[in-house]
Amino acid sequence: MDTVGLIDAGGANLGSVRYALERIGVQVQLVRGPEELAAVPRVILPGVGAAAEGMARLHAQGLVEPLRQLDKPLLGICLGMQLLYEHCEEGDVDALGVLPGTVRRLRPATGIRVPHMGWNKLLALRESPLLDNIPAGASAYFVHSYAAPLSSHTVAVAHHGGLFTAIVQRDHFCGAQFHPERSAAAGEQLLRNFLAMDFS
């Protein structure tokens, strides 16, 4: 059975992500410090809540520098993906900085509510193993008020008052703005794809 380290960054989705992984036959090891991080072959950083609180918890656990220097596959989910970027507008906080750019608040407009909650289509911009066996135009479930900009590392986008990065990959650092654990078949496939990817 595959093992993945699940970072306990205080997110409310920790239990649901763990259940989604166990449902597809993955053994989950909770990570709350550098020693546990070093002991697992792959890492998932889930998160729900505020960026400043998430970074404060990672600092308190001694995980910020080990994550910045990580040489193994990592998947950030929702806030966990946002924390991979250089800076988060929410709380005006410096994040992990393994991806370039600033995460900014979504702009409300006529018919565009913030937070963005609900199902939205994914539009692929480039090839990535993260998208294997996910049909074109598949939908995923989002709950967020902030979003990452488009860059050369953007794999797929979604649209809510404008385009934002929905899936990102830079080498072994990956992220999903949506919640795979709540995104039915497409979300399960994304988790399977991350677990199967060869980053050597």
Active-site choice (116, 144, 160, 179): 179
d(CA 73, CA 50): 24
DSSP state string for 71-86: -S-EEEETHHHHTTEE
Whether 78 is a known active-site residue: answer yes
Active-site choice (35, 160, 181, 188): 181
d(CA 196, CA 190): 10
For residue 41, give the nearest of 52, 53, 32, 29 by alpha carbon.
Answer: 29
Whether 188 is a known active-site residue: answer no
Whether 181 is a known active-site residue: answer yes
Determine the residue type at 104.
R
Residue 35, C-beta contacts closer than 8 angstroms, at least 6 positions apart? none
Active-site choice (36, 78, 144, 174): 78
- Helical (H) or strand (E) element with 164: strand 163-170
Annotated active-site positions, please?
78, 179, 181
